[in-house]
Amino acid sequence: MARLAHKMALESPRIRADVIEITEFPHLAQRYAVRAVPKTVVNEKIQLSGAQPEAQFLQYILQAGRKPPKTGA
């Protein structure tokens, strides 16, 4: 997951990808209830456990990083 997140940031100026060694930052482990690794948090609201395939992870990133299209009325 660490590599995939960094690769995504390599490609988009919109992305900031942080890999965090959780035992050194226990306050974050607590804040995000990290019980198993890898755990991935996208924009505070999407939480993913375990390794994600590229295509699936992309969908979560798009969900977080695109304004929903306005529906014509």
- Residues forming contacts to another protein in the complex (CB under 8 A) are 1-3, 5-25, 28-29, 32, 34, 37-44, 54-55, 58, 61-62, 64-67
Tokens of 21: 């060694």
Is-contact 21 29, C-beta < 8 A?
no
Residue 31 Cβ, how far from another protein at the closest point, in Å? 10
Strands 46-49 and 39-42: antiparallel
Distance, CA of 34 to CA of 7 (rounded, Å): 23
Least gap, CB of 73 to another protein (angstroms)? 21
For residue 44, the minimal CB distance to another protein (Å) is 8
